[in-house]
Amino acid sequence: MQDTVVERVLKHPKYEELVKRRTRVSMIFFAVALVIYSGFILTLAYMPEVFAQPLGAGWTMSVGVFTGILVVLSAVIMISLYVYVSNKTFDPLLEEIVRDVE
Amino acid sequence: MKKLLLSTALLSMFAQPAFAATGQANTSAIVMFLVFIAGTMVITWWAARKTQTTSDFYTAGGGISGFQNGLAIAGDYISAASFLGIAGMVYVSGFDGIIYAIGFLFGWPVVMFLVAERLRNLGRFNFADVTAFRLEQTPMRVLAASASLLIIALYLIAQMVGAGKLIVLLFGLEYKISVIIIGTLMMIYVFFGGMTATTWVQIIKAVLMLAGGTLLAALVLMAFNWNPDVMLAEAVSVHPTGAELMAPGAAVSGNPLNALSLGLALAFGTAGLPHILMRFFTVSSAQEARKSVIWASSFIGYFYLLTFIIGFGAIALLVRHPEYFNLAADGSFDMLKDLVGGTNMAAVHLSNAVGGSLLLGFLAAVTFATIVAVVAGLALAGAAAIAHDLYANVIARGRSTEQQEMRISKISTLVLGVLAVLLGIIFEDQNVAFMVGLAFAIAASANFPVLVLSVSWRGCTTRGATIGGFLGLAFATIWVVLSKTVWVDVFGNAEPISPFPNPGIFSIPLAFAAIWFFSITDKSARADKERDAFTALTVRSQTGIGRSGAQEH
């Protein structure tokens, strides 16, 4: 019984599209997160002087502290974007598959 | 229920003489603390009536919403260690404190993009259900349980010792008594209320913590006309290191490779922490799991921004209050070395400075609640590892009844509670700061690679996952034991054997490479079957068809 459900899902025309697109989207998001995070860590580890500069004349806040705040915000923004994409493109596909199979 | 009342009575009994003895006690803190305990006892009583099955016990019957779960995860994450610890780190070294916060936070994109939804679709109670989905039960469960129990033990020690010290300061209780109180409360929540009670305690605490943090940060900014840069300028002008406060400092300049290694463990460790992963089974579907992550990461990110303000604000403001420092004979003090209770108390003193004793009391009570709630979540994940993985699926090989498993998990809760208290007392005078780092390193080098590869790589086999997982676990543990933090600071040897304390940069790739190598060279018939089963796993992980959990009523 379980096997036939799996087979039916596999035969569904939208299933492969769902898996492919979703894998691609999560890989892109993961890559972007990795670039932002490792960029931040590598900069502070190997080019600390970049982060030590003040943000501009008259500022105490350094480039590093400001970047840190942006990096925190970027994590939340990336996750929100991912959820938005999932809700908009994957959930309808998924609903269709589940409806047809069950 | 009698027991509950008894322990509350015991609490107040213990409280009286100790308070008088140290004079640290703060009436509003004690009142709010008792109100919180009473409230959570009502919740536990309510939850106990709903906790009948193992599904109720481990995952609150899968009936928690994404928003509630997001709050609970945030609650687990914003532990006393990360709130007081990060504020304290910013207070001491400015920018370096921010690095830790960002590392902890970046675990969330990793969880979201790689594991969260698949986890919910594949598992039932804990992440070992997922790794054992197509791989062999016994080795996968033993691996998951060993790594999980080690992580939980390390985390428990860190929380218990940190908590004990904190309570000594905040409430003036004796160290041993405060450790026993934490252990007892935790056992009551988990034993009677299971995941339902643990989750609601965590949710309430998270809301209080977010509210308290917001108020504190707002009061700090108000003192500087709502201009953060004025606050930073003031901080730089009074701090002993001056403008270096704004730049990467001692935490990284000594050894950039160590910083990198730490960064890796922090970001990938979250996706391997058993008590965090377990929360994904309390929601009904992958969609709700997704919502949990967005709420959790938003709350955590927001809270860390508050923590930065609190840390820098503490530098700028505490220096105006000599009463928070242990003064030298001539009335002078070193703002880093002489803070009463150590620099981890920076946020607590700051709340007193800007909000008076009422805010201090509020934050103290919430901080205490935090520790109890986090410890309860850890105990629950430990009980699941013992009862669900080791007992039900390895020892009884799936032949145990639900009642038997439930009984074992309750016994495990009690044992873990007693163990936590004992460990807390044994490690009282040890420096336990490295323990959370080690817990993250093990999570990132044992649980994370096995979890990710078993759900996303067809070629992964039982042999590869077992060898790779145990190698990662062993390498990370041995490396830390041979590093300066344990080999020199704890065992008293002259020279460390590991060149730097954080193993992540070697242990994480090692685990991945070993899983890959021992999987592709696995030519057994079992391995072929496991590769074939990947198709069915993918169908389930992508669509959720056939998943277990919420529907079982």
Least confidently predicted of B47-51, B228-232, B273-277: B47-51
A92/chain B closest Cα distance in angstroms: 12
Q: Which of B517, B420, B451 is nearest to B159 (CA)?
A: B420
Comparing CB atoms, the residue among B246, B304, B536 nearest residue A62 is B246
pTM for the predicted model, two decimal places: 0.89
DSSP 3-state of B507? helix
Return the axis-axis angle of helices B27-50 and B175-223, rounded to nearest 10°.
110
Residue partners of B438: CB distance under 8 A and separation at least 6: B154, B476, B477, B480
- Per-residue pLDDT at B252: 66
Please give the share of chain B, as a percent, with pLDDT higher than 70: 92
**Which string of b and e fits A34-69 if b means at least 16 CB within 10 Å?**
eebbbebbebbbeebeebbebbeeebbbbbbbbbbb
Q: How far apart are CA B191 and CA B203, in angstroms?
A: 18
CA dist list (Å): A52 to A48, B2, B86, B94, B286: 6, 59, 20, 12, 42
* Average pLDDT of the segment spanning B513-531: 94
For residue B469, pLDDT over 70 is answered with yes
Write the single-letter amino acid at B285. S
Q: Are A102 and B304 within 8 A, CB to CB? A: no
For residue B164, pLDDT over 70 is answered with yes
Comparing CB atoms, the residue among A10, A61, A79 nearest residue B112 is A79
Number of Cβ within a 10 Å radius of residue B215: 17
- Per-residue pLDDT at B553: 34
- Per-residue pLDDT at B77: 84
Residue partners of B54: CB distance under 8 A and separation at least 6: B125, B388, B402, B405, B406, B409
B245/chain A closest Cα distance in angstroms: 9
For residue range B169-198, what is the model confidence (pLDDT) as tens digits?
777 788 899 899 889 988 898 888 889 998
Q: How far apart are CA B75 and CA B202, in angstroms?
A: 5
Write the single-letter amino acid at B253. S
For residue range B387-413, what is the model confidence (pLDDT) as tens digits?
889 998 888 888 888 888 889 999 999
For residue range B426-448, what is the model confidence (pLDDT) as tens digits?
888 776 767 887 899 999 999 99
- Per-residue pLDDT at B35: 87
Is residue A41 less than 8 Å (CB to CB) from chain B?
A: yes
Residues of A in contact with B102 (CB under 8 A): 37, 40, 68, 71-72
Q: How far apart are CA B61 and CA B51, in angstroms?
A: 8
Q: What is the rounded average pLDDT for all residues in chain B?
A: 86
Is residue A78 less than 8 Å (CB to CB) from chain B?
A: yes
Comparing CB atoms, the residue among A37, A41, A51 nearest residue B247 is A51
* Average pLDDT of the segment spanning B206-217: 93
Residue partners of A100: CB distance under 8 A and separation at least 6: A8, A12
How many independent structural domains does chain A possess? Answer: 1
Q: Which residue ranges of chain A lie beneath pLDDT 70?
A: 1-3
- Per-residue pLDDT at A51: 92
Contact B150, B477 (CB under 8 A): yes
Contact A54, A61 (CB under 8 A): yes
Closest residue in A to B546 (Cα–Cα): A2
Q: How far apart are CA A82 and CA A88, in angstroms?
A: 10
- Per-residue pLDDT at A3: 58
Comparing CB atoms, the residue among A26, A40, A80 nearest residue B294 is A80
Q: How far apart are CA B492 and CA B86, in angstroms?
A: 28
Q: State which residues form the domain around A64.
A: 2-101
For residue range B8-37, what is the model confidence (pLDDT) as tens digits?
444 443 333 333 333 355 777 778 888 888
- ipTM for the whole complex: 0.92
Place B243 in a pLDDT band, splitting at 50, 70 and 90: confident
Q: Which of B397, B376, B10 is nearest to B202 (CA)?
A: B376
Contact B531, B461 (CB under 8 A): yes
B321/chain A closest Cα distance in angstroms: 23
- Per-residue pLDDT at B20: 31
For residue B242, pLDDT over 70 is answered with yes
Is residue A89 less than 8 Å (CB to CB) from chain B?
A: no
- Per-residue pLDDT at B224: 95
Contact B157, B179 (CB under 8 A): no
- Per-residue pLDDT at B468: 96
Residues of A in contact with B105 (CB under 8 A): 72, 75
DSSP 3-state of B532? helix
Can you count the helices (H) and strands (E) in chain B? 23, 0
